[in-house]
Amino acid sequence: MSIEIKIPAVGESITSGVLSAWHKKNGETVREGEALFTLETDKISAEIPSPGAGKLQIQVDAGQEVKIGQVVALLDESSKAAPAEGGKPSGPAESKKSSEPAEAAASALQPDANQTLSPAARRVVEEEKVKLSEVSGTGKHGQVTKSDLVQYLESKSRPERPAQPSARPEAAVPASVPAPASERTIRRKMTPLRKKIAAQLVLAQQNAAMLTTFNECDMSAVMQLRSEYQESFQKRHQVKLGFMSFFVKAVVDALQTVPAMNARIDGDDLIENQYYDIGVAVGTARGLVVPVVRDADKKSFAELEKAVAAYAEKAREGKLGLDDLTGGVFTITNGGIYGSLLSTPILNPPQSGILGMHKIQNRPVAIGDKIEVRPMMYLAVSYDHRVVDGKEAVTFLVRVKDCVEAPARLLLQG
C-alpha cells in the first residue's frame, strides 16, 4: 500500500508554492516524521515532515511550482525500514549492501563523520548541490557554516582568468573578446517570497499617498545607559541590551501620543487600532521579512530583546510561520546595520507608518552655545498622507526622538 504525500495547507490565503528542495533521495527509505522537502511560499518557508514510513517515490522535481493538495510523492509502506533492534540479523554482505545508500546520502552532505550542518547551511548545500569536501569550514571544530558556503559559491561564480604573460613592448595589444552570454548573466526564477516583496512594494507606491519626514536623534543617553548596564542586564536576562528595544518602546509611546499613526484604511472605513503589535524588519538571504512583536506595550526591555533575537534566528533558518508575519500595526526597519546614512522607507501595507533607523555617526552639533561631537542618527518616518496629516507625522517623529534622547521618559511616561 502506498501513502500519497500532498502539499499541505499552510495558510488561508496561500494557494501555491515552490518545492525548493528534497531532503531525501528517490528510492530512499524514510521514517515517519523525517523532513521530506522544503516548501517555499510568498510568506513562509517550511520543512514538511513525512506522514509515514516507507520507500520514497518522488513525482515532482525540486524547483517546481506546486498547488496546495497536489500529490508530489508516494511512500511504499511495504518497504519500511528494518527495526534497529530485535530484527533478524543480516549477514556481512547484506549489512554492507544496506548501508551503502545511507553512506552515499551522508557523504553528499558531509566530508567526514564529525561534520554537522545548521538547517540554513544544509538548505544551501541541497539547493546548490555543493560538495562539502571542497569547502573549508571556519566554524567550531572545522564545521562548515552558511557564510563558508556563500563565499564558496561566490568564488565558483567568478570565472577564473588564465595568467597573463608579461607584456612585451613590441607585442600588439590583443583586442578584448567579450565573454559568452552564459557567463555574463545568470537567469533564475524569482522565489515566491521575492515576488511577494515586489508586489507589496508596488502596492504601497500605487495605493498610498506616501510621504516621508526626517529628524535626527542624539544617541548619547542610550549609548551611555547601555554601556553602564550592559553587563548586569546580560547576566540577569541572558540577552544583550540593544538599540531596538528602546526604539520599539519609543514607537509605542509615540503611537499612544498620536493615535492617527496607528490607523489604517479599509475600503471607505478608517480603522484605528487599540493594540501595539510592532513589526521589526529582518534581512535574510531570501529577502526582507517582517516578524511581529505582539503586545509590545506590555513587554519589558528584556522581553523585547529576546523576542527580536528569537525572530531573527527563526528568519535566518527559514522557520518563520504565517502567524509570525501577520497583524502588525507599525513597522521599524534598521538600514543602519548595513551602513545606510539616510533613506526613505516604503510602507508595509495596510499599515500607515514605518520608521527608518540609520547609521550612528559622530557629527558636530550645537549644544547651547557650544559645538560638541555627538553620536547622531538620522530618523525617517514614511506615512500614508490619506490617514496621517503632516503635523501628526512630525509630532510622532519628534516624540520618538525625545524618548530616545531621554530614556527616562520610557519609564516615567513623561
| Residue numbers annotated as active site | 385, 389
State the Cα–Cα distance between residues 327 and 291, nearest whole angstrom: 9
Residues ≥6 apart with Cβ < 8 Å to 16 = 41, 65, 66, 67, 68, 192
Which cell is 23 given?
A: 531532503
Ordered alpha helix ranges (H), 317-375? 322-325
State the Cα–Cα distance between residues 27 and 283, nearest whole angstrom: 37
Residue entry with cell 522565489: 191
| Dihedral of the alpha carbons of 191, 197, 203, 206, in degrees to the nearest 10 | -100
State the Cα–Cα distance between residues 312 and 301, nearest whole angstrom: 17
Handedness of CA 116, 119, 121, 122 (dihedral sign): positive
Contact 257, 409 (CB under 8 A): no
State the Cα–Cα distance between residues 232 and 362, nearest whole angstrom: 27
The Cβ of residue 255 has, within 10 Å, a number of other Cβ atoms equal to: 25
- Closest Cα to residue 411, out of 253, 304, 231, 254? 253
* E strand segments, 210-324: 210-218, 263-266, 269-272, 278-280, 282-284, 287-289, 292-293
Q: Quick check: helix, strand or coil at residue 196?
A: helix
Which cell is 316 given?
A: 535566518
Which cell is 267 given?
A: 475600503
